[in-house]
Structure 1
């Protein structure tokens, strides 16, 4: 199996009393942290990371609950709150010697990145969110028959027990379904990487479900509090996503401007796994952001 990003060094870094993150670090220069999505690991950044490492220090962790990082039991709603996961990343960067850094996230990692930008505005210099909507807006937009595309969100929002049991009964079929459905170019995720994603996901079912469950509860509360207070992302922000607005009937740019004034919004013809399907486009997008 493919387990390493070529040329990167691997470390295990303690970020909380019961959480150590697996992290790949490569390159030199101003720091950029890349956060993966579901159902993936840090390996989703393997192409982009190598390119960016030519002139940046690139840090690619597995999020808590994913990949080779620790998977603490969800003691309460906060264990997998995006606020907690964002604090992990800030602590990780500091332990690696970086008080300020640029941050890009895909899917679940983008939700962590957004929360980090809101909670740590003096730490995050630039922020990129790939193919996601802020949690509060996502739940507001999903309704009626169109919400069927996000059935997994509703499944994993249920109380502990049944979701974990159902997914465990057919884990490869469940996680593989999304890898197949969301990729416009199936060749972008070769067999060995796909096998790695499935293996990592099988081993992380309780924590993955807890992550999604938090997005149907405590993460909404945090977003609502920020919206009520008028808090916005203060740093340059780039959003790149598929054209969900046309499909679900909302104005994506207007939605994002409510969260970020210094915004560049792009759409892509790549599928959901855009860092693997269109790595050159994503790398160029990130480099453009870093110049702002």
Structure 2
């Protein structure tokens, strides 16, 4: 039976005007000193944790989570700094390092009664999942990463004019102050730009979900920037240390990506296989928000991964 920490007084219980994953139970779960995560839990069976990307919240998994809940206990948190989860101030580089955020997720699963679990992440959540797989191999049974490259490889493949596609990475890598001010001056325009640009099917993100994403980002500019800033600094250091030490992902890994390689000039499968010897790499015909555009395909892939 799933053990869930009781919600505190600030628990974001969904209302008729607040989007939620139907049939899921919402709680706040403490995971670190002064940090609690907003989490939706549903279903029963072997556990799988689903981590959202940018500029989204746990709601991006609403279709996939409902599908998987027929056979699994599905745990969908908002990452620290996002959605309705706590947003600690950036005290130093570790506050939003993927190592810290991965430790949050392992602590969350343990608080819910699970020592071992499958883990899937999209975009930023995939980077957290990747780090969790390296740092906590005994806890992660299976790992899936959607539409991302490991941080170290991402910076290596971005170069020349093709790097313009990642302008936000460079903006939010700057020291505290300017990026936060610029984004906070027009948050809906900034975050909405990516929702529009990265979706092959705009109808996959309906108006109420889009509004929820924008509202969540509007309230989290400093922590979102801090998350990205970490990926240009301490996260690179952690990845390089693992690469130099020969550390690899020990569990079965599935990677689903758009075909970026043709445009940016790299072999995505080869880059991932260097980190994940037991790899299933699939090119997906969808936009970046594939869990919302082709949720049945994503759920099918996750089921096949966990079955092995």
TM-score range, shorter-chain basis?
over 0.9
Moved over 4 A (4+): none
2:95 counterpart residue number: 79
- Write the distance in 1 (CA, Å) between the matches of 2:279 and 2:302: 13
Unmatched 5+ residue regions in structure 2? 1-16
1:196 counterpart residue number: 212
- Write the distance in 1 (CA, Å) between the matches of 2:276 and 2:233: 23
Q: What secondary structure is seen at the aligned counterpart in 1 of 2:166?
A: helix
2:51 counterpart residue number: 35
Q: What secondary structure is seen at the aligned counterpart in 2 of 1:231?
A: coil
Of 126, 151, 160, which residue of structure 2 is paired with 1:110? 126
Q: What secondary structure is seen at the aligned counterpart in 1 of 2:49?
A: strand
1:127 counterpart residue number: 143
- Write the distance in 1 (CA, Å) between the matches of 2:174 and 2:240: 21
Of 85, 95, 111, which residue of structure 2 is paired with 1:69? 85
2:75 counterpart residue number: 59
Whether 1:8 and 2:30 are equivalent positions in the alignment is no
- Write the distance in 1 (CA, Å) between the matches of 2:111 and 2:36: 12
Of 252, 276, 289, which residue of structure 1 is paired with 2:268? 252
Would the aligned equivalents of 2:19 and 2:208 in 1 still touch at CA under 8 Å? no
- Write the distance in 1 (CA, Å) between the matches of 2:284 and 2:273: 19
Shift of 1:3: 2.3
Whether 1:148 and 2:153 are equivalent positions in the alignment is no
2:8 counterpart residue number: none
Q: What secondary structure is seen at the aligned counterpart in 2 of 1:32?
A: strand
1:269 counterpart residue number: 285
The total of aligned residue pairs comes to 292
Q: What secondary structure is seen at the aligned counterpart in 1 of 2:20?
A: coil
**Residues 143-292 of structure 1 aligned to structure 2 (within 5 Å):** 143-292=159-308
TM-score, L = length of structure 1: 0.99
Would the aligned equivalents of 1:2 and 1:193 in 2 still touch at CA under 8 Å? no
Unmatched 5+ residue regions in structure 1? none
Shift of 1:246: 1.1
Would the aligned equivalents of 2:54 and 2:123 in 1 still touch at CA under 8 Å? yes
Would the aligned equivalents of 1:39 and 1:179 in 2 still touch at CA under 8 Å? yes
Q: What secondary structure is seen at the aligned counterpart in 1 of 2:281?
A: strand
Q: What secondary structure is seen at the aligned counterpart in 1 of 2:109?
A: helix
